[in-house]
Structure formats: C-alpha cells, structure tokens
Amino acid sequence: MDNEKLGTAIVITSGKGGVGKTTTSANIGTGLAALGYSVVVLDADIGLRNLDVVMGLENRIVYDIVDVVQKNCRLKQALIRDKRHEKLYLLPAAQTKDKTAVSPDQMVELIGDLKKDYDYIIIDSPAGIEQGFQYSIAGADRAIIVTTPEISAVRDADRVIGLLEANELHDPKLIINRIRPDMVKRGDMMNIEDILDILAVDLIGVVPDDESIVIATNKGEPIVTEERALSGRAYRNIVRRITGEEVEFINLEADEESKLSKVFKLIFGK
C-alpha cells in the first residue's frame, strides 16, 4: 500500500430483515470499486453469513472476521479479493460463531485498521437492534438505512434512525428499495414523498423492484455493473452520491411509461 489513507466507514442497516441490506452492501461496494476506489465490504452478520454468496466469493473463504479479531490470522490474510475488481475486498462473517464473538471495541479497532489502507469500508449490518447492530455501527462514520415501501420496514427504519442518533451517528441517509412504480401509480404503495414525510431523513437513492437483481444474485454478480438494468443505474447513482457528487434522481414513473411505449412500438411498429 502507498501512504496511509483515511478511509470512510459506512454501515448499511435497516432494523427489519429481508429489505435488501446485503444486496445494497454488495452493490455499493462494487460500484465504488468500479469508480476506482479501494473498498472493503465487511459482513457483520456473524452466524448468518451471506455477503459472500451475493458477491460470488463463497468458495474462496479461508479466514473470517472472528479469526481476525481473535488474532488467529492477520487482517490481510482474511481479506478476499473480488473476481473482477482489483481494489475490492470482502471480509467475511464467521458462520459457526454467534454475535457475542465480536465486541464494539474490537470492531472499532478493526475498522480503524482498515481505514488506514482503504478508501471505503462498507459494513453490512445484521437485522435487528441487538448486539449485532451495536457492534456493526460501532466503527462507522456514516450510516445508510435501507427500507422498502412497506409499513413494517418503514416503522423499523424509524426505530433505527432513533438508535443511530442515540449512538451519536448523525445524519443517516435513506435508500428506498424495491419500489414498484406501477403500484405507486395506482396508489397501492407509499411513494417516496410519503416515506420521507414520515421518516424525516435525507434520501440517497431509490431502487426499483427489478427481476434482474434476482438474476444477478443467482450468478453472484452485483447488478451495479450491469449497464442496461434500471436498478443497476439506480445503484450507480447512489454510489456517485456517496462520493459527494450531486446526481439527479431517476424518474421511475416516467421510465415505466417509456418502457411501455417501447413495447407498444415493438408490437405495433409505431
């Protein structure tokens, strides 16, 4: 490594499970690496490791985060280099331990070490607000909250916003995931304004519900590098906003229409 860096650690959290934290972590990490930054994505979900499969790196794991913390190996030995991006690394969670295996203090130390060598540390937090949440936010400089337009996910996001504030992690950013423009249009799904109205945080991205994410995850290739996918574009915009760039939000409803009109054109040749 060259000179000592001073990287930024960002925790991806939600409270509720199943809203897309891991997919978001993988895409943000990969997207930042694609822009040329050096990145470590850290799976903090000890006992329920998953970031490895989402990134397609599950076959390369030798050591994990608990090995690092317990000094069974050096930090560099546990980092797995990504298949496509040279400056992207995964620090996997342990699968056979539980969330008592790492303390907040150990996490602060670990992330402090990583920040010396990498531009961004993306921490994929476990669901819930117990121990796992506590240690995963311990070393973070910033927080991104992932929610979906469902009442349960928004409620939990609100709880997490309060907890982050209580832990002195201020000004979290929000990602609204899996929005369905067709349902929003019908009035059967809360729209972006509805959710922002309730949560009172800044928005950093909106990701549409997209089949190509499922397909990409099946293959272990984050969608962010998929040029044509709308969700990929949404993630690329989020990544650019993280680096401080101002990027306009995609008008998903307009996009829905244009997609439809394209289909019409194909069918009717208009």
Partner 1 sequence: MDFFKLFTKKQEKSKNVAKERLKLVLVHDRSDLSPRFLEMIKTDIIKVISQYAEIDEAEIDIKMTKMKKENNESPVSALVANIPIMKVKDKK
User: Contact positions toward partner 1, by CB under 8 A?
Assistant: 150-151, 154-155, 158-159, 162-163, 166, 184, 186-191, 194, 197-198
CB of 45 to partner 1, least distance (A): 23
Question: Strand, helix or coil at 176?
Answer: strand
Q: Which is nearer to partner 1, 103 or 167 (CB)?
A: 167
CB of 109 to partner 1, least distance (A): 23
Round to whole Å and give the CA distance between 86 and 38: 8
Question: Strand, helix or coil at 40?
Answer: strand
CB of 201 to partner 1, least distance (A): 13
| Beta bridge partners of residue 142, listed in sequence order | 10
CB of 169 to partner 1, least distance (A): 14
DSSP notation for 61-129: ----HHHHHTTSS-HHHHPEEPSS-TTEEEEPPPSSS-TTSS-HHHHHHHHHHHHHH-SEEEEEPPSSS
Distances (CA, A) of 228 to 210, 212, 224: 12, 10, 10
CB 11 within 8 A of CB 144: yes
Q: Which is nearer to partner 1, 41 or 199 (CB)?
A: 199
CB of 133 to partner 1, least distance (A): 13
Round to whole Å and give the CA distance between 33 and 29: 6
CB of 74 to partner 1, least distance (A): 36
Alpha helices in the chain (DSSP H): 21-34, 51-54, 65-69, 75-78, 104-117, 131-138, 151-166, 181-186, 192-199, 211-219, 230-242, 252-268
Q: Which is nearer to partner 1, 97 or 185 (CB)?
A: 185
CB of 77 to partner 1, least distance (A): 37
Q: Which is nearer to partner 1, 86 or 197 (CB)?
A: 197
Question: Strand, helix or coil at 148?
Answer: coil
Q: Which is nearer to partner 1, 195 or 213 (CB)?
A: 195
Q: Which is nearer to partner 1, 94 or 190 (CB)?
A: 190
Question: Strand, helix or coil at 187?
Answer: coil
Q: Which is nearer to partner 1, 108 or 183 (CB)?
A: 183
